[in-house]
Structure 1
Amino acid sequence: MTNKRIRHSADGLELIVEITEAGEVKLLYFGVPEYAGQELDAKSYANRRLVEVQCTGEDTFIHHGLKHAGTMPGGRLVYRSHRTEESAGGSSLAIEQHDPVTGLTAVSHFQFYGGLPLARVRTELRNDGGRELPLEYVSTFAYGGAAGEGERLWDDKMRIHIAHNTWCGEVQWKENSLPDLGLFRAFHHSVNRLNVCSIGTWSSAEKLPIAVLENTETNTSLFWQIEHNGSWQWEVGDAEVHQLCVRLSGPTDAETQWFKRLQPGETFVSVPAAVGAVRGGLTEAANSLTAYLRTVRRRNEDNRKLPVIFNDFMHCLWGDPTTEKLKPVVDAAAEAGCEIFCIDAGWYEDSLGEWLPSTSRFEEGLGAMIGYIRSRGMVPGLWLELESVDKASPLVGKVPQEWFFSRRGRPVLDMGRYQLDFRHPDVVKHADETVDRLIRDFGIGYFKFDYNQNSGIGTDRGADSFGDGLLEHNRAYLRWVDRLFARHPELVVESCASGGMRMDYATLSRFSVQSVSDQMDYRLMGLIAAASPSVVPPEQAGIWSYPLAGSDDEAVIFNMVNVIPFRVFLGGQLPQVSGRGRELVREAIAFYKSIREELPGAVASWPLGLPTFASRYTCLLLETDNRYLLAVWRLDDERSRIDIPLSLPDAADYDKHDFSCAYPAADTDAVTDWDAVSGTLCVSLPQRDSARLIMLRKRPQQSSDAI
């Protein structure tokens, strides 16, 4: 008997699973086609296990340190069967293994999508034995050949791209060698690893659940995003002999205090992830993930129409709305061309919890204020923070403590707020009734769902562990969101968590608009905005613009360039902005409306590299079916001109006059020169902290379907 292979090779991704004579299942290859073959020694081959599962009380069988390697009963799993299915949108592969000692059955699921070089993966565990199985770790994806292509050793050729994230500092990519981050060759393998995880209800509080592992020798990359709105973990570690392993998971015992007692007959499904491979680096990986998200995202009209949103919080009313303050802002928003007006925090009575309209802030009540917004031709919206209840809220004394997260018998408090537990049916009922009442009573068509706390490791009420309670709450919340949109399919809901603190694909696949950042400095907002398409598609990325009373023309233009390539979140002191400033706002929104229908197909690239807060010049290039849009930002840089390598196809067919300053249209000096041979555009910006939007219309024969 010889080893058998299961192969998938399509759409730029090749997967090879090998089944040994003894029934061991190995993920032999996961990468770009075509697999050239490798001579693996016995130890290297052993590290290609498809699944890692660790149960309490089980041994491990290799020298591993803190790495999730050599797990048991994962190491005893043997092949039982596999099945493939074809569908209109792609295909799927499921590989079933079984542990004869414990009765654990593990099924590895791979969902492939036509045209995309990736797979959505998850691991399903079923206890087919007669005893409880105490789970500590379950891999969603495990691959021991991450540096197999090429001749050089992994410490020399591999680079890791990690998306750092924090409040007001989102989407800050850093590229490092693995030795730079402490993972270096000490022998033919070490016990070290690069460990990245997120803990709690903010899934992207420190890092985004996305990374790219680049092989600089072969110009290929392995990439992944973990599709979860709670705790997650991934690690890159070396293995015998000079191999590199990648393991992805949701919550774990060692890192995030997750532990699950899997009873006989019970099933547990891991957190899903999308994993893929491309020729190229971060840009190619990000565009593949964008195409994936556009494929799996909930179908909705909002991501096609992209209405312009005004929100009265940022540099405007700061959560203190009244009729007197709101009316001039509503008028200014309508005159600027806004189509949705959201009243942010402060519209409710007392504090977070009951969500009853204030009886003192609005003349003739909230309904009259909502009516005024509608009379100005805009859809009314309200801010909600449904997952939180202020400790001073009357609701706290009216409901049982089982509504809230607790640990060791005591309620969890963060920033003076309790965390509602969406596993409780009455919490779900309360959330349903709140949203339905506001829609019914006031005709609300837009909600901003905010979430300004991280409730940490979870809750142990009715759970096997803190992490178990958190995971089931996370999943219950997503089920509630799915039912909400099933009831109200036309409702537009913005997802916000102090900006981008919950910017994961489980969230992005459901909500049509995502608040990217709470950054209050428009210059830094420009840097965040420019980087955002690496994580959030432009048609979902809500970016703030906030012209102030004292803003000069260049500050207004910079603010508006920040938002034109994305979803417009207009705020600021619009009624007090100068007449010329308001004209610039109207011009920007009018231009946005003329091109917004193309944004849902736009493909992003960064000719000057992905920006960070250290960038002094940056740009973003969006390619649509009909045009190229180039946003250019100059920050604290003395140079008035910048050469931008565009690498356009058929660059020689264009001349300087084909490029124009789309915004502001009056600037006829922004395009200084065009070198058709090198494909380099020279752009001039008039002063520090200025920005321009350049446009190039494609030749008719160049129009093609974008991703």
Structure 2
Amino acid sequence: MRSVTFDASSRRWLLRTPGTSYVVALADDDAPRCLHWGPALTAEQAASLPGPAAFGASSFDSTAGEEELVSEVGARFETPSLQVVLPGGDRGIEWRHDGHEIDGGHLTLRFSDRRHPLLVELHYRVHDDSDAIERWTVLRPQVPVTVLRCDSAAWSVPALDGYRLSHVTGGWSSEHALSRTELPVGETALTSRRGLSSHHANPWLMIDGGDAGERHGEVWSCALAWSGSWRVTLTRTTSGRASWTGGFGHEGLTWRLEPGEEWVTPVFAGVYAPDGYGEASRRWHDHVARHVLPRPDEPRPVVYNAWEAVGFDVNEANQRDLARLAARVGAELFVMDDAWFGGRTGDSAGLGDWWVNDERFPDGLSPLIDEVHRLGMRFGLWVEPEMVNPDSDLYRANPDWVLHMPGRSRTLLRNQLVLNFARPDVADWAHKWLHKLVSEHAVDFLKWDFNRAFTEAGRPGDPDQDRLWIDHVRAVYSIMDRLRADHPHLRIEACAGGGGRTDLGILARTDQVWTSDNTDAHDRIAIQRGFSQVYPARAMAAWVTDSPNPLTGRAVPLRFRFHVAMAGALGLGGDLARWSEAELSEAAELVAVYKDIRPVVQFGRLWRLPYGVQYVHGDRVVVLAWHGPVAFGTPIAPLRLAGLDPDGRYRDEDTGTVHHGAVLMSRGLPPLTPGGGYTSTLLRLRAC
């Protein structure tokens, strides 16, 4: 079966994934329209779909709908996907279809404007092992063009009785808070204007008819592969239709394209699932593993990060001591965090001076790295390449390297400014010192941080300075790509004050993301639940830290902290020197258990449970369940599992008890006994 086919008689294209179909057709005016996005169709069924129709009921209504990229020409009153100003002041595009190309699962639809030499390509890509449909747009002007908005794609869903929007909100240390609300009539904008995907929103959404749950109901979803500012605008019309358009940039930015330039947008992928939010998530996880992550089949190591133990008081002696303790509890990667470089003794100075502090490391980093390797761990470093403190040699020598405007003050956030990576000389400087650092110091891992949003985002003297919002992110991508190509052993974790840069664009270049600076296990349950809607467990860095938690002050048992963190890529970040012998021994036991279940958690399929998660991989099942304090007498329901063979039997690997799959899914496991505190459990099952 071909994944993309064309029916010339009806001017429509059928794209097929393993479980879904997508049908695009040309209207009479050549505008591309979506006829179907949902369950799989045969070619014959796709040919029988009603053709594109105008929706206008009066001279005040839009006459178009379900367009693949919404223009401004004609009676189109939805949010435009493509806003361009052409010579003479003409806006938008009057579609003229110029042909198409099918290359395996890649479909290119070519268009031009009927009056101006502006070429537009709509790209679609499907895979034989993923239900995601990847879409992006390419502009090729032959005349000067001003671009106000150029989205990657517009998406439409069938007419439903109602529309519910799922997305995440939050802030620093409260990322990925899941929100499910009715989509109001009118326009709803989801966006980041901060220069990164942000803590406050994330570039994905899900739409259902208001009747979906974890295991039932149709769900349509999209995710943008972009790590800078972005926007998605949803429209629900009074006539009962819903659609959205999205891409990079935000309101108020413009770009100037010259003749012969090529403007390529990031991928905006879509996934349809017939069986609820859980199935939508599993389809996203499969796609991310197979077509986004650079090393999807590599187990993520157990990390120990020294930040919460010593903060800025870094030196060779305390790092050696912590490395020995980290190795004792089973860590596989030791990461030294901030303050190993320049004159860095706090967050007010030294950022940008990327040479080893010879007072803290008199013989350089090699003795520490050698010791870490001798202990059987890999070695990693924290870096923040895109930032600079004004109190640094770098800034004093190059004050014009930062984002700034000549008539505005330079706002300090966390005592730092943003370096302008849209400048080739700045990006080249960053690549050179990173390449040297990795080459000369046997660095295996970089934690790449980004600790403030863009402000005063200008570049004096540049006639098209708004491009820096795009070009900066592209430069970050390029540097990461070059580092990985030059150092195949290098692994990278994306971080932006926690989870502020979490998206499919950064995941294509990194191995995992730092989910949140909030390591409180109780808070992490909700953070991780929101993260898991689109992103897989193997990409979710999750630490066990001290109790009481240094951020929230909440005291939580060690086992509870581990059980929550075991749901992702396990790490440790507490001050191990203050842990008791009993805590260190228990931690070592739990790390060993995690290494046993790691293939199931990191490579298995996820089912979210009412108060826990379940992973299935091959013949193994792992259940992690937890409860915080509840009032005495509060009933807790049994934990009903999912995704098992109802005719199968499953042996508890720890007790030997045999369970029937049908019983585990219908009656469930006995409920946790809260006992007034924090209770958790880990269950390992194997099909027998």
TM-score range for the pair, normalised by the shorter chain length:
0.7 to 0.9
CA distance in 1, matches of 2:683, 2:536: 20
Letter in 1 for 2:299: K
Letter in 1 for 2:670: C
Equivalent residue runs for 1:201-212 within 5 Å? 201-212=195-206
In structure 1, the partner of 2:235 is 237
Deviation at 1:453, TM superposition (A): 0.7
When residues 13 and 456 of structure 1 are mapped into structure 2, their CA distance, relative to the original with a 3 A threshold, is farther
When residues 266 and 326 of structure 1 are mapped into structure 2, their CA distance, relative to the original with a 3 A threshold, is closer
Of residues 680, 690, 694, the one that matches 2:679 is 690
Contact preservation (8 Å) 2:542, 2:570 = yes
User: Is 1:162 the equivalent of 2:167?
Assistant: yes
CA distance in 2, matches of 1:368, 1:41: 71
Contact preservation (8 Å) 2:626, 2:679 = yes
Contact preservation (8 Å) 1:224, 1:276 = yes
Partner SS state of residue 565, structure 1: coil
Which is worse superposed, 430-439 or 585-594?
430-439
In structure 1, the partner of 2:254 is 259
Of residues 629, 635, 638, the one that matches 2:622 is 629
* Cα deviations by residue, 1:258-283 (Å, 9 ceiling, x for unpaired): 21122222221122211121212322
Of residues 642, 663, 666, the one that matches 1:678 is 666
When residues 109 and 456 of structure 1 are mapped into structure 2, their CA distance, relative to the original with a 3 A threshold, is farther
In structure 2, the partner of 1:502 is 501
In structure 1, the partner of 2:3 is none
CA distance in 1, matches of 2:620, 2:609: 16
User: Is 1:25 the equivalent of 2:18?
Assistant: no
Deviation at 1:465, TM superposition (A): 5.1
Question: Over aligned residues, Cα RMSD in angstroms?
Answer: 3.0
Contact preservation (8 Å) 2:613, 2:624 = yes
Which is worse superposed, 365-374 or 506-515?
365-374
Letter in 1 for 2:22: L
Letter in 2 for 1:49: E
Give the number of equivalent residue pairs: 646
Equivalent residue runs for 1:527-676 within 5 Å? 527-548=526-547, 555-608=557-610, 618-638=611-631, 639=634, 642-651=637-646, 653-654=648-649, 658-659=651-652, 675-676=663-664
Partner SS state of residue 42, structure 1: coil
* Cα deviations by residue, 1:526-550 (Å, 9 ceiling, x for unpaired): 4323443323321221111114499
When residues 553 and 644 of structure 1 are mapped into structure 2, their CA distance, relative to the original with a 3 A threshold, is same
Equivalent residue runs for 1:64-103 within 5 Å? 64=78, 73-86=91-104, 91-103=105-117
Partner SS state of residue 532, structure 2: helix
Deviation at 1:554, TM superposition (A): 6.6
When residues 396 and 118 of structure 1 are mapped into structure 2, their CA distance, relative to the original with a 3 A threshold, is same
CA distance in 2, matches of 1:388, 1:333: 30
When residues 554 and 271 of structure 1 are mapped into structure 2, their CA distance, relative to the original with a 3 A threshold, is closer
Letter in 2 for 1:171: H
**What percentage of residue pairs aligned between the two structures are identical?**
20
In structure 1, the partner of 2:177 is 172
Contact preservation (8 Å) 1:641, 1:682 = no
When residues 228 and 552 of structure 1 are mapped into structure 2, their CA distance, relative to the original with a 3 A threshold, is closer
Letter in 2 for 1:347: W
Please, which runs of 5 or more residues in structure 2 have no aligned partner? Answer: 1-7, 57-62, 85-89, 344-349
Letter in 1 for 2:265: S
Of residues 162, 172, 194, the one that matches 2:188 is 194
CA distance in 1, matches of 2:453, 2:187: 27
CA distance in 2, matches of 1:237, 1:295: 32
When residues 27 and 60 of structure 1 are mapped into structure 2, their CA distance, relative to the original with a 3 A threshold, is same
When residues 679 and 344 of structure 1 are mapped into structure 2, their CA distance, relative to the original with a 3 A threshold, is same
User: Is 1:52 the equivalent of 2:70?
Assistant: yes
Which is worse superposed, 335-344 or 352-361?
352-361
Partner SS state of residue 559, structure 2: helix
Contact preservation (8 Å) 1:457, 1:470 = no
CA distance in 1, matches of 2:294, 2:9: 47
Contact preservation (8 Å) 1:554, 1:690 = no
Partner SS state of residue 539, structure 1: helix
* Cα deviations by residue, 1:418-444 (Å, 9 ceiling, x for unpaired): 212223233233222322332333222
Equivalent residue runs for 1:380-395 within 5 Å? 380-395=379-394
Deviation at 1:30, TM superposition (A): 2.4
What TM-score, normalized by structure 1, do the two folds share?
0.84
* Cα deviations by residue, 1:239-271 (Å, 9 ceiling, x for unpaired): 47432222122214xx2x321122222221122
In structure 1, the partner of 2:474 is 475
When residues 43 and 659 of structure 1 are mapped into structure 2, their CA distance, relative to the original with a 3 A threshold, is same
Letter in 1 for 2:325: A
When residues 279 and 649 of structure 1 are mapped into structure 2, their CA distance, relative to the original with a 3 A threshold, is same
Contact preservation (8 Å) 1:337, 1:589 = yes
When residues 3 and 674 of structure 1 are mapped into structure 2, their CA distance, relative to the original with a 3 A threshold, is closer
When residues 647 and 198 of structure 1 are mapped into structure 2, their CA distance, relative to the original with a 3 A threshold, is same
Contact preservation (8 Å) 1:320, 1:345 = no
Letter in 2 for 1:16: V
Which is worse superposed, 420-429 or 406-415?
406-415
Letter in 2 for 1:172: A
Deviation at 1:3, TM superposition (A): 4.5
CA distance in 1, matches of 2:405, 2:137: 29
User: Is 1:120 the equivalent of 2:127?
Assistant: no
Letter in 2 for 1:119: I
What TM-score, normalized by structure 2, do the two folds share?
0.87
Partner SS state of residue 48, structure 1: coil
When residues 677 and 68 of structure 1 are mapped into structure 2, their CA distance, relative to the original with a 3 A threshold, is closer
When residues 292 and 157 of structure 1 are mapped into structure 2, their CA distance, relative to the original with a 3 A threshold, is same
CA distance in 2, matches of 1:147, 1:277: 12
Which is worse superposed, 546-555 or 417-426?
546-555
Deviation at 1:552, TM superposition (A): 12
Letter in 1 for 2:149: Y
Partner SS state of residue 51, structure 1: coil
Equivalent residue runs for 1:437-452 within 5 Å? 437-452=436-451
Deviation at 1:449, TM superposition (A): 1.0
Of residues 332, 335, 344, the one that matches 1:339 is 332
Partner SS state of residue 523, structure 2: helix
* Cα deviations by residue, 1:476-535 (Å, 9 ceiling, x for unpaired): 210111111000111122111111000011001110121111104232124323443323
When residues 281 and 641 of structure 1 are mapped into structure 2, their CA distance, relative to the original with a 3 A threshold, is closer
In structure 1, the partner of 2:295 is 300
Which is worse superposed, 375-384 or 544-553?
544-553
* Cα deviations by residue, 1:215-242 (Å, 9 ceiling, x for unpaired): 3569322110011011111121134743
In structure 1, the partner of 2:310 is 317
In structure 2, the partner of 1:132 is 144
Deviation at 1:378, TM superposition (A): 2.0
CA distance in 2, matches of 1:343, 1:370: 10
User: Is 1:109 the equivalent of 2:123?
Assistant: yes
CA distance in 1, matches of 2:133, 2:200: 26
In structure 2, the partner of 1:189 is none
In structure 1, the partner of 2:511 is 512
User: Is 1:277 the equivalent of 2:276?
Assistant: no
CA distance in 1, matches of 2:363, 2:561: 35
Deviation at 1:450, TM superposition (A): 1.0
Letter in 1 for 2:526: L
Contact preservation (8 Å) 1:147, 1:158 = no
Partner SS state of residue 483, structure 1: helix
Deviation at 1:698, TM superposition (A): 2.3
Deviation at 1:642, TM superposition (A): 4.2
Which is worse superposed, 340-349 or 596-605?
596-605
Equivalent residue runs for 1:373-412 within 5 Å? 373-399=372-398, 401=400, 403-408=401-406, 412=410
When residues 534 and 456 of structure 1 are mapped into structure 2, their CA distance, relative to the original with a 3 A threshold, is farther
* Cα deviations by residue, 1:392-433 (Å, 9 ceiling, x for unpaired): 0111122361x2222356575441222122232332332223
Deviation at 1:141, TM superposition (A): 1.3
CA distance in 2, matches of 1:69, 1:202: 22
Letter in 1 for 2:604: A
* Cα deviations by residue, 1:624-667 (Å, 9 ceiling, x for unpaired): 11311111111122458541121343345447xx3356xxx9xx
Deviation at 1:93, TM superposition (A): 0.7
CA distance in 1, matches of 2:432, 2:528: 35
CA distance in 2, matches of 1:690, 1:113: 43
